[in-house]
Amino acid sequence: MKLTMLYSFLKADIEEVEKELSQAIHSDTELLKDASLHLLQAGGKRIRPVFVLLAAKTGQYDIHRVKNAAVALELIHMASLVHDDVIDNADMRRGRTTIQAEWNNQIAMYTGDYMFARALNYMTVIQNPSAHKILSDAIVELCIGEIAQIQDKYRFNQSTRDYFRRIKRKTALLIAVSCQLGAVAGNASADIQRRLYRFGYYVGMAYQITDDILDFTSTEKELGKPAGGDLLQGNITLPVFYAMENPEISSRIKKVHEEMPGEDLKQIIDDILKTDAIKRSSAISQRYLRKALDQLDEIPQSKAKKSLRDIALFIGKRKY
Task: Write a three-state SS string for 126-186.
Answer: CCCHHHHHHHHHHHHHHHHHHHHHHHCCCCCCCCHHHHHHHHHHHHHHHHHHHHHHHHHHC
Angle between helices 277-296 and 262-274 (to 10 degrees): 70
Number of residues that bind a copy of itself (CB under 8 A): 40
Q: Does 170 bind a copy of itself (CB under 8 A)?
A: no
CB of residue 302 vs a copy of itself: minimum separation in angstroms?
30
Shortest distance in whole angstroms from residue 112 CB to a copy of itself:
8
User: Which of 8, 22, 106, 251 contacts a copy of itself by CB under 8 A?
Assistant: 106
Find out whether 134 and 174 touch, Cβ atoms under 8 Å.
no
- Does residue 120 belong to the site contacting a copy of itself (CB under 8 A)? yes
Contact between 232 and 265 under an 8 Å Cβ cutoff? The reply is: yes
Helix (H) or strand (E) holding 93, with range, is: strand 92-93
Coil vs helix vs strand at 97: strand
Let me know: does 212 contact 205? Beta carbons within 8 Å. Answer: no
Interface with a copy of itself, residue 109, by CB under 8 A? yes
What is the Cα–Cα distance from 85 to 305, expressed in whole angstroms? 34
Distance CA 74, CA 140 (A): 17
Among 58, 68, 98, 111, binds a copy of itself (CB under 8 A): 111
Query: What is the nearest approach in angstroms of a copy of itself to the Cβ of residue 116?
Result: 7
**In the complex, what is the shortest distance from the CB of residue 238 to a copy of itself, in angstroms, rounded to a whole number?**
21
Whole-angstrom Cα distance, residue 290 to residue 199?
Answer: 10
* Burial of residue 97 (number of CB atoms within 10 Å: 0-12, 13-18, 19+): middle
Closest distance between a copy of itself and the C-beta of residue 24, in Å?
A: 10
Question: Cβ of residue 71: shortest distance to a copy of itself, in angstroms?
Answer: 13
Using the contact rule CB under 8 A, the part of the chain among 81-89, 171-179, 215-223, 291-299 near a copy of itself is: 81-89
What is the smallest separation between the CB atom of 114 and a copy of itself, expressed in angstroms?
A: 4
Reduced to 3 states (helix: H, G, I; strand: E, B; else coil), residue 300 is coil
Pick the closer one to a copy of itself by CB: 100 or 208: 100
> Considering beta carbons, is residue 187 or 286 the nearer one to a copy of itself?
187
Instruction: Rule CB under 8 A: choose which of 38, 118, 170, 195 binds a copy of itself.
Output: 118
**How deeply is 77 buried, as exposed, middle or buried, from its count of CB atoms within 10 A (0-12, 13-18, 19+)?**
buried
**Nearest distance, CB of residue 143 and a copy of itself, angstroms:** 4
Burial of 312 (0-12, 13-18, 19+ CB in 10 A): buried
90: phi then psi, degrees, rounded to nearest 5: -75, 140
Is residue 46 a contact residue for a copy of itself (CB under 8 A)? Answer: no
From the CB of 181, what's the least distance to a copy of itself, in Å?
14
Binding mask 125-154 for a copy of itself (x = CB under 8 A): --x-x--xx-xxx-xx-xxx-xxx-xx---
Q: Tell me the window of 57-65, 80-88, 91-99, 183-191 that interacts with a copy of itself (CB under 8 A).
A: 80-88
29 is an interface residue for a copy of itself by CB under 8 A: yes
The residues that touch a copy of itself, with contacts defined as CB under 8 A, are 27, 29-32, 83, 86-87, 105-107, 109-111, 113-114, 116-118, 120-121, 123-124, 127, 129, 132-133, 135-137, 139-140, 142-144, 146-148, 150-151
